Amino acid sequence: MLLTSYVFLYVFLPAFLAAYYLAPRAWRSWIIALFSYVFYGWWRPDFVLLMWVSTLVDYSCGKGIVRDRRRERSGKRFVLLSCLSNLGLLAYFKYANFGVETLNGILASMGHDQVSWTAVVLPVGISFYTFQTLSYTVDVYRGDAEPASSFRDFACYVSMFPQLVAGPIVRYRSVAEQLRTRTHSLEKAAIGALIFQAGMAKKVLLADTFAIAADAGFGADSLSVLEAWVAALSYTFQIYFDFSGYSDMAIGLGLLIGFRFPVNFNRPYISRSITEFWRRWHISLSSFLRDYLYVPLGGNRKGAVRTYVNLALTMLLGGLWHGAAWTFIAWGAYQGFWLILERLSGKRSLFGGLPAFAQNLLTFVLVVFGWVFFRADSMGDAFRMMGAMVGASSGAGAGLFIEWTPMQTLAMIAAPIVVWGFRTTQEQAAAPRAWWMMVVFLLFLVSLMHLHRAANVPFLYFQF
């Protein structure tokens, strides 16, 4: 089920909120969990079983760590079990197809028979909830979090539908107290509704509009320089408004039921270096990679060379987390390359001496080129797009502007204003002005009308 679907907006959400607020407080976490299982299993009910496996294993591992410590043992065996189960599920469902395809490509090039394989269907959002449950076990082992006081609270934490399929990645320690007891107020609910409406407008009116030119451009055989840049910029805006829009919707829904989730995007396109970009982009993921991968690898504590190796490995695996394809690995390598160069220059961009506007512009261009790897269907497609962007394509163009709509023109005008001219949705909603509230509400209504007309609503998270 999608947060932008009719079923969710007109049936699921009203029914959930009614059940949640009519239920006794002691039942509310169970209400969240049960509705979340319906939400997640709407497409494939059997995939709920995978979530139950992660929930049961990691809840038991947390308890096991505590028991081991009482017996003066480290509890490391339970962390190992958690890692093997979570990463094993992720490896099979997310990377098995990629591994077999890669192996068959190698076998074919050597003239050998290929491996017969039935493609594995990827459960939506598996990367998010496996990372969450894994972080719980590691935090309990490190002493950074207390084990869940009840299975009810942990099941609620793992399955919570607002951020289940698209993030942000919520760590148990950040919501542990809220799972036990949380406050509800009209003010909190009003702010949550406002954030949800703004996020939906970003997703439906901006991201989905930019998807038209992005899909057409990246699917074309040849593009002019202008078409290539329009396609690349369209995807750059699409992925930001889609990711941040969904995060806003999740954060808003959380507030409606008393939870405060962490901010996931902090105006990343105003960054003046790639290092700063990663402090602002998908913050819950970048901080996860830092705390559970980069730092355990040694971080910057073991000399310069080891620091650069750790950065490269972290970003390569971060790219692979996003999807099982060489293009995602290339995107991770690209990000790691720039992070290493900036580390060599003292965590500053190579153009750090330029005026702030120029630093931002050049960083943005680097980010745009990076998104080409992220969006392209193959490495060949990525290089063809980049070639067209720098004028190296000899193609006649794809006629990208023949069916250009007024809505696309409005989106191209509005996107830079929103990206560079406004604070984050959470900052705007914390002290909302009357005009902003009115604009958000009107855009939300327009979004609903647009959904009724749309034949297809893009969903970027199937690969995650």
Catalogue the active-site residues.
322
CB neighbours (10 Å) of residue 232? 25
Q: What is the CA radius of gyration of the chain?
A: 23
Q: Which residue has the tokens 């006081």?
A: 149
- Tokens describing residue 231: 């396609």
| Structure token pair of residue 153 | 């609270």
* Closest of 282, 265, 324, 291 to residue 464, by C-alpha: 324
HSE (CB half, 13 Å, CA atoms) of 255?
23
Buried b (16+ CB within 10 A) or exposed e, 176-187: bebbeebeeeee
Assess contact for 229 and 386: CB atoms under 8 A.
no
**Is it true that the peptide bond before 296 is cis, omega within 30 degrees of 0?**
no
CA–CA separation, 279 vs 173, rounded Å?
21
Name the nearest CA neighbour of 286 among 260, 318, 308: 318
CB atoms within 10 A of CB 111: 6
**Local structure of residue 350 (DSSP, 8 states):** T
Find, among 139, 145, 28, 34, the residue nearest to 79 by Cα. Answer: 139
